[in-house]
Amino acid sequence: MNGKVRLGEFLQTRRSQLRPEDLGIPGYGERRRVPGLRREELASLAGVSVSYYTRLEQGQSLNASPQVLDAIARALRLEEAERLHLHDLARSSATGPGRVRRPAPERVTQATGQLLEALVHVPAIVTGRRGDVLAWNRLGHALFAGHLDPDAPDRPAERPNMARLVFLDAHTRDLYADWQAKARAVVGNLRLVAGRHPDDTALHSLVGELSARSADFASMWADHRVTACAVATYEMRHPLVGPLTVTQQTLSPGPSEDQGQSIVVATTEADSPARTTLALLAQVGSQHDPVRPGVRAGSGSG
């Protein structure tokens, strides 16, 4: 799918999700044939001509200024991550498709590996741009994917992918009490990555696979929601130790280390039942895996 289509679909979908009454636009009791704002209403709110906005939505205007894009973002009530996503889509639309390249191998950097080793008492995993698990520590494996081979991240062809787990793996689906919230966060983040890396063929393949195999994913993907989910709290239902509430935080390496990798950690409140449950999981996990090292890092052969 080219940048023009992605931009147009995003604008059309988000426009359809706005209710005129929420924006102070009188409806006079009329019944609309299609939901959401009309193009002329959105154009008026953004301060641009109807013809210009129509061309933009149809992929016929490729040089929208940052100021115009920001005005449209305000009219659409976009959050900051969504506003940046709009700029990414417009940039991709203007430059056209880039050179298709084989995805570069993803490797855990030495610094990231050292950080993972230091997080002995905190569940942590390292994910690549598309959500592939590049490494995890012992507790991260026990919390997020204890039913999988702990050595799987060492084998690039067998690396677990967090989006696949959330949508296609029954264990992971049962792990989250509010699975819908976790699923929406995963899809929203993939949308964000797709906007930043429009020529990532491996990402397109992943989205195609999930769309074909999961009706839930296909529906959420079509919604065009974008989420930069840096911090989120989830109630988890672990099959070994029971329920616990964790705060999942996504940390990104600095610019010099930026390979699209993230470190996802799960923390609990001090002196909480969840902290006790996590400590119990650490004990149970060590009994199940007494001789394995603390970190499951990728072999570097990407």
What pTM did the predictor assign?
Answer: 0.80
Tokens describing residue 77:
């009530």
Tokens describing residue 81:
């991550």
Give the pLDDT of residue 188: 93
Amino acid in position 292: R
Give the pLDDT of residue 297: 43
Residues of the chain with pLDDT under 70: 1-5, 26-32, 61-62, 94-103, 253-259, 285-302
Question: In 38-69, which positions are buried (b, 16+ CB within 10 angstroms) versus exposed (e)?
Answer: ebebbbbbbebeeeebeebbebebeebeeebb
In this structure, are residues 161 and 206 in contact, taking their beta carbons and an 8 Å threshold? yes
The CA-atom distances, in angstroms, between 187 and each of 77, 147, 152, 164 are: 20, 23, 23, 11
Give the pLDDT of residue 293: 38
- Give the phi and the psi of residue 296 in degrees, each rounded to 5: -110, 85
Structure confidence by residue, pLDDT tens digits, 13-53: 989 888 887 777 766 556 667 778 889 999 999 999 999 99
Structure confidence by residue, pLDDT tens digits, 46-88: 999 999 999 888 877 667 889 999 999 999 999 888 898 899 8
- Give the phi and the psi of residue 233 in degrees, each rounded to 5: -105, 130
Quote the CA–CA distance of 32 and 65 in Å, as a whole number: 31
Give the pLDDT of residue 186: 95
